[in-house]
Amino acid sequence: MRLSDIAGIDSDSEVTGFAIDHRKVARGSVFGAFAGAVFNGEDFIGQAVDRGAVAVVARPGAAVDRVPHLADPEPRRLFAELAAKFYAPYPKTVVAVTGTNGKTSTVEMTRQIWRMSGHRSASIGTLGVTTSDDQVKTGLTTPDIVTFLNNMAGLKRMGVTHVAYEASSHGLDQHRAEGVPLAAAAFTNFSRDHLDYHGTMDEYFEAKMRLFERLLQSGRPVVIWADDPKANEVIERAEAGGLEVLTVGRKGNMIRLVEQTPTALGQTLKLEHEGKPYRLPLPLIGAYQASNVLTAAGLVLATGGEWDETFAAMQRVAPVRGRLERAVISRGGVPVYIDYAHTPDALEAAIAALRPHVEGRLITVFGAGGDRDQGKRPEMGAVASRLSDVVIVTDDNPRSEDPAVIRSAIMAAATGASEVAGRREAIAEAIRIARAGDIVLVAGKGHETGQIIGDRVLPFDDALVARECAA
């Protein structure tokens, strides 16, 4: 494809790809030079041109010579727009999910329901790229725009027709998931997270709402979990933009949740759809899983799915890795659950999900990540100590921070909690003190298989460690 066809400029240069890392530039690449958290891509423009870049996308004031300068005040947005033309075509039906919690479960359940309805489907997010046959990790909830578009185009070539992906606030703010037409979008919930990046809750919320802005010209539907405190504001935004609003939950107009009852291995939901009652045996523990599966079902219906097929598939959805995953049952008969909860709201939801199944004590093990929002640490400590019977504060991913300082911030509000520095030792201690009737929750890392300490990533899988300790 010629540069003139992609960028609309007078150039016969042949474009062979796009790159945002100058080390990945090959002859024929279009280079995106953006300011990042650590490096400024503009510092590497010369090297990118030396390596064969045929054009550079950068802000108007950037120093670009020898090749065309494709300037824009928001260079990431322009880069995404141009790259999307190059990598097309994409799967026919693509949906995106935003919100603080539940994105991973929702996109994966959407994929599962589509698959059980006969579609070749995939999901993209925190777990990587997941299809019926494989799972490939990308390292980020929303990967960089080149990886994202490459993945989408690759799925199309594989014959995948339906894709659900997570739209994180970082990804939306940095235009990392654009260019692929959306058939629908969804909003799960909103609570504190990522303030180390966004600064304020208002800025964080506006980043989430960028997803709906992409639908304004298309008139595509949005699915909203109606029971979240922020839902009314989201609904007003969507309706003001002329979007079709489909809600699910106790206040839902598409799928209404009438009643929710925990069972030994899951829960029973009483639903209403188009005025008719339904009883759904959901094989997932956790009250909040109802929001995930109903939002997923809403997306399937919004994109042409049939209710009978969707309802049948909802009864067979499988748990998502690291999301209230039962890792092991100890020799004493104590189940140990692993969950990705790393915000106050998510931790509260995970504890609340397990509470109906606890006959004895709920023992919670958790920490907080380093180099991230420090304000949520005492809030997480307060939530855990208020809702758990026993709390053990330990390390998460300390990154460049002193782990003891992170633990101290949590302990300041975790009344009655104990502190165990090593995460393996903390998990072992929780299992050691647990007795029949208790449940152990290990929160914070979920599906992750490494622990970030300093600049190293050490092998660490909560589920595997729990099994080793229980043995």
CA distance 96 to 214: 11
- Residues 253 and 237: their CA atoms lie apart, in Å, by 17
Please say whether the beta carbons of 388 and 351 come within 8 A.
Answer: yes
Q: Is 448 annotated as a binding residue?
A: yes
* CA–CA dist 420, 443 (Å, integer): 14
pLDDT at 36: 77
What global pTM score does this model have?
Answer: 0.81
Q: Is 99 annotated as belonging to a binding site?
A: yes
Question: Cα dist. 25→20, 58, 79, 388 in Å?
Answer: 8, 15, 15, 52
The answer to whether 100 is a known ligand-binding residue is yes
What domains lie within the chain, and their CATH numbers?
3-75 (3.40.1390.10), 88-314 (3.40.1190.10), 325-470 (3.90.190.20)
Which stretches of the chain score pLDDT less than 50?
A: 139-140, 198
Residue 39: partners with Cβ closer than 8 Å, 6 or more residues away: none
Give the mean pLDDT of the chain: 92
User: Is 398 marked within a binding site?
Assistant: yes
User: Is 415 among the annotated ligand-binding positions?
Assistant: no
Annotated binding residue 40: no
**Coil, strand or helix at 58:** strand
176 annotated binding-site participant = yes
**138 assigned to a ligand binding site:** no
DSSP symbol at 357: G
Residue 103 marked in a binding site: yes
The two beta strands, 418-419 and 390-393, are parallel
> Phi and psi of 247, rounded to 5°?
-110, 150
Q: Give the integer Cα–Cα distance in Å for 364 and 388.
A: 6
Q: What is the pLDDT of residue 197?
A: 57
The verdict on whether residue 217 carries a ligand-binding annotation is no
- The answer to whether the annotation marks 151 as part of a ligand binding site is no
Distance, in Å, from the CA atom of 454 to the CA atom of 259, rounded to the nearest integer, reads 47
- 11 assigned to a ligand binding site: no
- Say whether 93 counts as a known binding-site residue: no
Is 101 marked within a binding site? yes
Residue 304 counted as an annotated binding residue: no
| The token pair that represents 264 in the structure block | 């030994």
Task: Yes or no: say if 210 and 175 are a contact pair by the CB < 8 Å rule.
Answer: no
409-421, pLDDT tens digit by residue? 999 999 999 999 9
Which pLDDT score is estimated for 58?
97
